[in-house]
Amino acid sequence: MNVSVAPQLSDMSDTTTNLTVGNETELLNNNGTGFDTGASKTMRIVYVAIGAIGTIGNVNVLIVMLSLKYLCSKTTNKFIIHQSFIDLLSSLAIIMTYLIDIIPVSSNGVVAHFVCVVVQSHFLVWALVSTSTYNLIAMTLEKYIAVVYPFKHKRIFTKGKTKVILGLVWLIGPSFFSALAISTTYRDGECGVYATFRTRLLIQNIYSYCNFVIMWYIPLIIMAVCYGRMAWFLHTNTNLNVGAASDLRRLNLIQARRNTIKTLILVALLNVICTSPKQIFDFLFLSGVPLSLQGDFYNFAAAAVFSNCAVNPLLYSIQFQDFKKGVVRLICCKPGMQTA
């Protein structure tokens, strides 16, 4: 997910520069003919297919969750709906990025400038992917506070404050990855991707290491600590006398909460699994380890990052009880029928 520069960058020729950006080697052509993503045709097809699957899956999740008011009323579900919306936009951005092969030459067209700076710089893709990660962090913290500090949760996650938190999620990724768009120039029909980064190796290294920490290491620590504490808390606070009606209701509540937490743990685990290979590859590559940018490890790592946008809907359909019940009620109940 980071901008990194090959060690041999100082020996680059005057006409072509090889950069590692986001998920593949970028070829910057200085002849004004356009910009090639550098991804093979096969991998472009794979990336677009992943985006299409993610689009279909997340649209289905949003239809189910937004069609039933009782699902929208729960705070955690609001974060899940937001997660699906971000993943939907990420999937569309992946499709847009890899369907565009070469920027058509045009003098000073607004569309060409937008495509160069926003799309082909990969700002759009990585801003959305990182927003998805930090929404997952917000969802983790919300559930952690709900389980461990329930009284504080009522004060912190009011309707108004929840909207503010969801809005703040959108600031981190786009702000951090705005460097990709800022360093990209479009002049006289030529797209200079990361043109201002080319001779600034130190800045690129600092930026890449910061990306590793901010977009992978910190989220990993937060999720591990929060879900670990939640699991321990629930394990030590479930001794009930199930003979009493009040305890039965409480037991049902705890079981529903456990299902939600288990779902969120699996979502977090899949996020780590999908993003780790690429982050590890980038870190090793940046550290000078001789790795091939066209090899199987690299292609797998890139595809895994994008797959993260497509796997959550499948997980909800298998694990998340609220979603499964929502599907049944949406299919079986007639319009206007009340649902308990």
For residue 115, the domain's CATH number is 1.20.1070.10
Q: Which has more pLDDT, 197 or 290?
A: 290
Residue 1 class from Cβ within 10 Å (0-12 exposed, 13-18 middle, 19+ buried)? Answer: buried
CA pair distance 81, 58, nearest whole angstrom: 9
CA pair distance 27, 128, nearest whole angstrom: 23
Residue pair 139/80 in contact by the 8 Å Cβ criterion: yes
Q: Which has more pLDDT, 251 or 329?
A: 329
Residue 116 resides in a domain: yes
Q: Which of 24-38, 112-126, 193-207, 290-304 has the lowest mean pLDDT?
A: 24-38
Among 176, 92, 93, residue whose Cα is nearest residue 134: 176
CA pair distance 82, 56, nearest whole angstrom: 16
Neighbours of 12 (CB within 10 A): 16
Q: Which of 60-64, 153-157, 171-175, 183-187 has the lowest mean pLDDT?
A: 183-187
Which residues neighbour 6 within 8 Å (Cβ) at sequence distance 6 or greater? 18, 19, 20, 285
Residue 335 resides in a domain: no
Residue pair 230/148 in contact by the 8 Å Cβ criterion: yes
Residue 301 resides in a domain: yes
**Quick one: average pLDDT of 283-297?**
76
CA pair distance 7, 4, nearest whole angstrom: 9
- Domain ranges, residue 132: 3-330
Strands 16-21 and 185-187: unpaired
- The CA-CA-CA angle for residues 280, 281, 283, to 5°, reads 65
User: 24: which strand partners?
Assistant: 21
**Backbone dihedral angles phi then psi of residue 240, each to the nearest 5 degrees:** -125, 150
Q: For residue range 198-223, what is the model confidence (pLDDT) as tens digits?
A: 667 778 778 888 888 998 999 999 99
**Quick one: average pLDDT of 26-44?**
51
Residue 338 resides in a domain: no
Q: Which has more pLDDT, 300 or 5?
A: 300
Residue 295 resides in a domain: yes
Residue 337 resides in a domain: no
Whole-number pLDDT of residue 12: 30
Element (H, E) at 79: helix 75-99
* Total number of domains in the chain: 1
CA pair distance 225, 318, nearest whole angstrom: 25
Confidence of residue 147 (pLDDT cuts 50, 70, 90): confident
pTM of the model: 0.79
Residue 78 resides in a domain: yes
CA pair distance 165, 18, nearest whole angstrom: 39
Residue 179 resides in a domain: yes
Q: Is the pLDDT of residue 286 over 80?
A: no
CA pair distance 37, 35, nearest whole angstrom: 7
Q: For residue range 312-328, what is the model confidence (pLDDT) as tens digits?
A: 888 887 778 778 888 88
Among 333, 5, 6, 16, residue whose Cα is nearest residue 192: 16
CA pair distance 47, 94, nearest whole angstrom: 7
Whole-number pLDDT of residue 164: 94
CA pair distance 28, 304, nearest whole angstrom: 25
